[in-house]
Amino acid sequence: MRGRHAAITENNMRASLLQRCLVAVGLTLSSALTHAAAIEQVSYETLSGLESIGFESMTCADGNPPQADGCSLEGIFRIGNAQFSEHFEGQTVGANGFFDTLSTPASQWLTLEPGEEGKNLFVQDDGAGVVMGGVGVLGSDGGIPLDDAAGEGAISMLFDGDQSQIGLKFYGGSAGGKVFLAFFRFDGSLIGDVITLQDVGSGNGFGFARERGVKDIAGFSIWNEDTGGVSFAGLLHDVTGDRDGTGTVPEPTGLLLVAVALLGAARATRRR
């Protein structure tokens, strides 16, 4: 009896130890996954070898290139490896004075939706290059965005493939203005928190990267509170292929396999 009792006690101790290890792995896994959820702001100049998207090929509804006063665009537009429109399905478009606001997160699966007629997007050529932005609450008149609407609206972008790095170059902006960015996975979930940029300035570049190079940025939305209006002159991204749905996070995945193995070992020990 003593031998059997000693064996049972030893097995229970082993099971307890395995369970403690399992808890530790679980906490580490949780921490790693939380850590992986962040978007880091990095120097635009550190983004190298990425694909670029510009708006020089965009035309107005009449087929002519945009002029200095701009022209409004209706619907969803494809440029390179991405599509553009006002917002994603599931987002609520609201108003804060002349400015659009957007809710987060979006619905599954990430799908672009255009804004109301005259309040979707616009393109403009100020002589230095073609820029694209959102048309705000006041809308357009005769296909031309009003002065207090051009750049006051929201704009969203959906990539063909999941990204790990994004570079944005803004146009417009004024002192004290704010720009809000929300990055999404393809399942519509928000990655990290909404990022707030202040005083973006015209022509300045901003870089963003997923921690540990996780490729799961499917798209993003931009809106602002800047009386100068904010558009963007181009962007960089690092993945040109179609979405594979992996969104790989190697370290947490490995920890999960260890956790499963420990759980199995703990159960086997208890049966003895």
The burial class, CB within 10 Å (0-12 / 13-18 / 19+), for 45 is exposed
pLDDT of residue 6: 52
The reported pLDDT for the residue numbered 248 is 45
Question: Cβ distance 220 to 110 under 8 Å?
Answer: no
Residues pairing with 234 in the sheet: 169
- Give the type of residue at 190: L
Q: What residues form DSSP beta bridges with 51?
A: 237
32 Cβ contact partners less than 8 Å away, ≥ 6 residues apart: 249, 251, 252, 255
Question: So what's the pLDDT on residue 250?
Answer: 41
- For 17, the 3-state DSSP assignment is helix
pLDDT in tens, 202-225: 889 999 999 999 999 999 999 999
The CA distance from 151 to 138, in Å, is: 11
pLDDT at 234: 92
| pLDDT score, position 105 | 83
Nearest to 67 by CA among 58, 78, 77, 79: 58
| Rounded distance between C-alpha atoms, residue 18 and residue 39, angstroms | 35
Give burial (CB, 10 Å; 0-12/13-18/19+) of 80.
Answer: middle
Q: Per residue in 104-125, pLDDT tens? A: 988 889 999 999 999 999 999 9
**What is the structure's pLDDT at 23?**
39
pLDDT of residue 1: 53
pLDDT score of 106:
87
* Model confidence, pTM: 0.78
Structure tokens at 97: 């004075």
Q: What are the CA-CA distances from residue 93 to residues 33, 110, 147, 209 (Å)?
A: 30, 16, 20, 27
- Please name which of 177, 186, 174, 205 lies closest in space to residue 111, comparing C-alpha atoms: 186
Which DSSP string corresponds to 128-184?
Answer: S-EEEEEE-TT-EETTEE-TTTEEEE-EEEEEEEEESEEEEEEEE--TT-EEEEEEE
Residues 6+ positions from 203 with CB-CB distance below 8 Å:
169, 170, 171, 233
pLDDT in tens, 247-261: 444 445 444 444 445
Mean pLDDT by 10 residues, the chain (272 residues): 53 53 41 60 88 94 94 96 97 97 91 97 93 97 96 97 95 93 96 95 92 94 96 92 58 47 50 53
Would you state the pLDDT for residue 127?
Answer: 86
- How distant, in Å, are the alpha carbons of 43, 57, 104 from that of 88? 28, 24, 9
